[in-house]
Amino acid sequence: EDQVTQSPEALRLQEGESSSLNCSYTVSGLRGLFWYRQDPGKGPEFLFTLYSAGEEKEKERLKATLTKKESFLHITAPKPEDSATYLCAVRAPGANNLFFGTGTRLTVIP
Amino acid sequence: DAGVIQSPRHEVTEMGQEVTLRCKPISGHNSLFWYRQTMMRGLELLIYFNNNVPIDDSGMPEDRFSAKMPNASFSTLKIQPSEPRDSAVYFCASILSQTAINPNYGYTFGSGTRLTVV
């Protein structure tokens, strides 16, 4: 059964304290791993898509990486505005829908 | 681009009542998805449409739930009768399926409908 597991469930960082969020997956024939950001009361906002092991994507203070079993979202020198829930999702072969993990709730303290 | 538009934003209803949630996808997108989000289970796919045709409804909890997409610019999710355990945030998302494998594109989500059944 396809599974997506995110860790930790919650993370508190001081402003400027870099860290990483983990997304491990068990999907045969991955057709994309997606990272989303979700703010309270809003829908998920697309950040990155990764397709093959070794691939990396960057956006401002965020960098996503992918291996054959997991993806990391690295946050460098975070700011309070980076506080949000970060969701990981995979698209399985033969499917057009996304299967989501339960997210990591990130709080960055000034 | 107005994005994916959902209505209403909030709905409070009594158990047993019919509830209809609405979604307008991004113009030109041909795949539409309904998700439900709860604290316990996160985001779960309910159903998705491709070119207005339901492709996978295996996530629809039971016969009380139904979804339609009468045209490319409108979809509804109906719950009849509603129950307290249906309380959740319901999201609609859309994408142009031909771009689904484009690394620069992701599925676009609406702002959601927060449903409370009392």
Please state whether beta strands A62-66 and A45-50 pair in parallel, antiparallel, or not at all (unpaired): unpaired
B50/A contact by beta carbon, under 8 A: yes
C-beta of residue A75 within 8 angstroms of C-beta of residue A96: no
Contact B118, B14 (CB under 8 A): yes
Identity of the residue in A43, A51, A97 whose CB atom sits nearest the CB atom of B112: A43
Q: pLDDT for B50-100, tens place per residue?
A: 999 999 898 998 899 999 999 999 999 999 999 999 999 999 999 887 655
Chain A residues lying within 8 Å of B35, measured CB to CB:
100
pLDDT tops 60 at residue B101? no
Query: What sections of B1-118 are H helices per DSSP?
Result: none
CA dihedral of residues B106, A36, B72, A41 (deg, nearest 10):
-160
Reported as a pLDDT band with limits 50, 70 and 90, residue B33 is very high
Q: Of A92, A27, A35, which Cα lies nearest the Cα of B45?
A: A92
- C-alpha torsion angle, residues B48, B15, A43, B24 (rounded to 10): 50
Regarding predicted confidence, which is higher, B62 or B110? B110
Q: Which two tokens stand for residue A72?
A: 């990391």
- For residue A43, the model assigns a pLDDT of 96
| Beta carbons of A1 and A52 less than 8 angstroms apart | no
Structure token pair of residue B47: 């159903």
Judged against a pLDDT cut of 60, whether residue B103 lies above it is answered with: no
Are the C-beta atoms of B83 and B64 separated by less than 8 Å?
Answer: yes
- CA atoms of B86 and B68, how far apart (whole Å): 18
* Contact between A32 and B43 using a beta-carbon 8 Å cutoff: no
With an 8 Å Cβ cutoff, is A14 touching chain B?
Answer: no
- Give the minimum alpha-carbon distance from B96 to chain A in angstroms, rounded to a whole number: 11
Among B21, B43, B51, B56, the residue to mutate for chain A (most A Cβ within 10 A): B43
What does the pLDDT profile of chain A (110 residues) look like in tens digits?
668 999 999 999 999 999 999 999 988 788 889 999 999 999 999 999 998 899 999 999 999 999 999 999 999 999 999 999 999 999 877 777 889 999 999 999 99
